[in-house]
Amino acid sequence: MATLLALLVVQVPLIVLSLLMLVLSVALGLVFLFPPQVRMVRRVAELNRRLMRRWTGLAIEAPYLPKPPPPVPQADGFYRYDRTLYKTPRVPAWNDRWKWLLTDPATWRDNCWLVLDPLMKLTLAPVFLLLPAQGLRLYALWSDLLLGATANSRLANQVTHLKRTRNLATDSQAAEMRRIERDLHDGTQARLVAIGMTLGAVEQLVDRDPSAAKALLAKAREASSETLTELRRVIRGIHPPVLAERGLGDAVRALAIDSPMEVSVDVDLPHRPDAPVEAAAYFAVSELLSNAARHGDARTAAVDISSREADLRITVTDDGMGGADPAKGSGLAGIERRLAAFDGVLALNSPQGGPTTVTMHLPKVLPQHWASDLPKLPRHKMIIVGLLWATAWCPTFPQGFVAAIFKIINFDEKTWFLALHLPEPWQWPTIIAMIALGLAMHIMAIRIPAVHNRERWMIEATPTKPWCP
């Protein structure tokens, strides 16, 4: 509590400086002062969010709208902003950033919080001294009211995230199409051309040298068999039938059988994920096993596929030489691109000399009907809700509505009605204040579980951070 109140020493001068910069940027046109002012206030607001999360466990989500994308040049190399063209992206980028900061409602909510926060701290100072824990909870709720995310900011961030995910999925699909085209061009197409040339030679030799023609036909038959094998390999590269028919576990086991290494597979998935998730996970495992055998000289490997609630976790370990690096074009960058389409991440541990361990985490991709329940209402919130329901009736009815009825009918018995013992001018204001307090307590008792349930479903619908064992 002392730390919270001690921050006033820094906060009050900061308010003066912030308001001065804001007035100069708006009233006198010194717009270059506005972005630093916003950044300064946002740092203070973020410090408050961290302190509330550390002291009370209340995670206050940042409410800021997504940053604008960097300017994109036109075909002629110039950058357009409104009706003006620029040779460099500096001015358009600055204008976009300034407009983003100015139009973001969170900017003005932060400024409002900065100005009102000292008054709130001084108002709650007696509560801090008498009931520190309860006072800190009330202050955290106040901070969440002005510094927390809104439905609009959450929606805007989700739209931005979906756009980024869509672009990654499109890039990954384009890369797969180029790979399939390259395999068909360099492998199957070349073999078919060779078979055609061989059959042409057979046509010329069939009458004057039947034995040579038979030999060429035998080569053509062998080439056709190799071409068929090549086509089957390409088809498996597009979408293996075993994956569609048997699921991820059996498809990875089939990979292990075909691998030149000794591969053990451990699968613990109560239910199958969606087909796109299965495909991304399968091809990621296929690429890792191929890299281990081709580049790492590994002899054994282990694949572990498991789940935690709705998250999918895959670990591939091999005894190769190690030293794997996504920047060296080993295929790890392509795996990261595949996983990014599902908000997945890849963690690599590959020291020189081995072993290499790759862990892939895909959050919220497994069916929800068998995942564990979402977090329940925290205990401290349950206690607050219980206290509100247990006490809200007192100001609402006995001290509010019943006292109002006694006042209207001019009943002489004052009993324990607080308002009726006060001087005449204060009776009606006290009755109205009691009713308002009671209704506010009822609203809070209803709102706290409702907000928590909404946050639970927001957590379910949005990606989470990777989990660790």
Task: Please indicate, yes or no, whether residues 269 and 400 belong to a single structural domain of this protein.
Answer: no
Q: What confidence score (pLDDT) does residue 332 get?
A: 81
285-290 mean pLDDT: 88
Nearest to 266 by CA among 320, 300, 309, 316: 316
Q: What is the mean pLDDT of residues 34-40?
A: 89
pLDDT of 125 higher than 50? yes
Residue 282: closest CA among 319, 250, 324, 325: 250
Tell whether 11 and 118 lie within a shared domain. Answer: yes
pLDDT of residue 227: 79
**Amino acid found at 75:** A
- One domain for residues 133 and 67: yes
295 to 164, 336, 358, 456: CA distances (angstroms): 32, 18, 15, 45
Residue-wise pLDDT for 210-246, tens only, equals 888 888 888 888 888 877 877 776 666 666 778 888 8
- Is 109 in the same domain as 230? no
Band (315; pLDDT cuts 50, 70, 90):
very high
Q: Is residue 318 part of a domain?
A: yes
Q: Model confidence over 381-422: pLDDT tens digits?
A: 888 888 888 888 888 888 888 888 888 888 777 777 788 888
Domain assignment of residue 273, yes or no: yes
In a domain, 437, yes or no: yes
> Which stretch of DSSP H or E encloses residue 55?
helix 34-56
CA distance 95 to 397: 56
Q: Do 116 and 211 share a structural domain?
A: no
Any domain includes 185 = yes
Of the chain, the percentage scoring pLDDT greater than 70 comes to 88
Per-residue pLDDT band at 86 (split at 50, 70, 90): confident
**466 found inside a domain:** no
Which of 209, 238, 267 delimits the end of a domain?
A: 238
Q: Determine the structural domain holding residue 231 and report its residue range.
A: 168-238
Q: What residues are paired with 302 via a beta bridge?
A: 264, 317
Of 216, 238, 260, the last residue of a domain is 238
* Residues 51-80 pLDDT 10s: 888 888 888 888 888 888 888 888 788 888
Inside any domain, residue 334:
yes
200 and 255 in a single domain? The answer is no
Q: Which of 225, 204, 202 is nearest to 213 (CA)?
A: 202
Write the pLDDT tens digit of every residue in 341-377: 788 888 888 888 878 899 999 888 887 543 444 456 7
Q: What total number of domains does the chain contain?
A: 4
Same domain, 34 and 101: yes
What pLDDT was estimated at residue 468? 38
Return the residue matching tokens 């399939």: 180
Task: Choose one of 341, 370, 399: the last residue of a domain.
Answer: 370
- 36 in the same domain as 147: yes
Looking at residues 324-348, what average pLDDT do you find? 78
Indicate whether 139 and 183 sit together in one domain: no
The answer to whether residues 253 and 313 belong to one domain is yes
Write the CATH number for 290: 3.30.565.10
For residues 298 and 390, state if they share a domain: no
pLDDT of residue 316 exceeding 90, the answer is yes
Query: Which of these ranges, 123-127, 139-143, 339-343, 411-415, has the smallest mean pLDDT?
Result: 411-415
Angle between helix 105-130 and 132-147 (nearest 10): 170
**Helix (H) or strand (E) run with residue 171 in it:** helix 151-183
Q: Classify residue 21: in a domain, yes or no.
A: yes
Predicted pLDDT of residue 369: 45
Convert the pLDDT of each residue in 153-183 to its tens digit.
Answer: 777 777 777 777 666 666 666 666 777 777 7
63 and 12 both lie in a single domain = yes
Q: How confident is the model at residue 328 (pLDDT cuts 50, 70, 90)?
A: low
pLDDT (average), residues 21-36: 82
pTM listed for this prediction: 0.49
Q: Does residue 468 lie within any of the structural domains? A: no
